Chains A and B, each alone.
Chain A
Amino acid sequence: GAVVSQHPSRVICKSGTSVKIECRSLDFQATTMFWYRQFPKQSLMLMATSNEGSKATYEQGVEKDKFLINHASLTLSTLTVTSAHPEDSSFYICSAHTGQGAQETQYFGPGTRLLVL
């Protein structure tokens, strides 16, 4: 099946630093990628929709200047958490949308666990 990779899988950083997370679709092209955040024992919350070659669409309450998204190619999207703070500690997961009609699906990356000290 299709594979989506995320790097890094785990990050520990000091408060105030920036962290970049990469999401790659390894064997298919994804015009749309999604970034989610998941806190413990909660469901996935959509942060933004990333479209190749255009600006990301952010969900209400998500600061676009803090969570920078770049979708440089059909196989790569990056999320940069700028000036990270302890409250940004979470599990960040990307997914890539592919297929059409009944064949549509989304494949998820393995996630990046961010801990801000």
Chain B
Amino acid sequence: GQNIDQPTEMTATEGAIVQINCTYQTSGFNGLFWYQQHAGEAPTFLSYNVLDGLEEKGRFSSFLSRSKGYSYLLLKELQMKDSASYLCAVLRNTGGFKTIFGAGTRLFVKA
């Protein structure tokens, strides 16, 4: 089967650093997405990791370990506007592409 796990909720303080973890078990793994979704809006693309390692993009970084089935999203210098749901999603290729989403992590940034 396939399974994607991430924490349900996290709370962090403005200006701090927060790490959101995601573990997955799936066949046909191609890569892993992170998306940000504000309430009532569609998800917006943050990152896509195919190879092991850390990819940095401004205040956001994403890490992948294919052998461990593990990824994390690192948010630095948190701002109030970063309060949102963060979705971990796996792109599978089993004769055709398919993206499966985790349940999402709701991040609350407090002053």
Give the interface of A toward B (CB within 8 A). Answer: 32, 34, 36, 42-46, 49, 51, 57, 93, 95, 97, 101-102, 104-111
Contact = CB atoms under 8 A, between A and B. Distances in A.
B12 interface: no
B79 interface: no
B101 interface: yes
Contact of B96 (A57, A95, A101): A57
Interface residues of B, number: 23
Interface stretch (B13-21, B45-53, B66-74): B45-53
Contacts, number: 57
18 contacts: A32-B96, A43-B101, A43-B102, A43-B103, A46-B98, A46-B100, A51-B96, A93-B42, A104-B30, A104-B48, A104-B50, A105-B33, A105-B48, A106-B33, A108-B35, A108-B43, A108-B44, A110-B41
B7 interface: no
Given A43-B104, A93-B43, 7 more contacts: A32-B97, A42-B103, A43-B87, A43-B101, A46-B98, A49-B96, A57-B96
A34 B50 contact: no
Q: Is the interface of B mostly helix, strand, loop or mixed?
A: strand
Contacts of B51: 102
Interface of B: 30-31, 33, 35, 41-45, 48, 50-51, 87, 91, 96-104
B42 A104 contact: no
A36 B104 CA distance: 15
Q: In the A-B complex, list the 5 residue pairs whose CB atoms are closest, starting with the nearest.
A: A108-B42, A111-B42, A43-B103, A44-B101, A43-B104
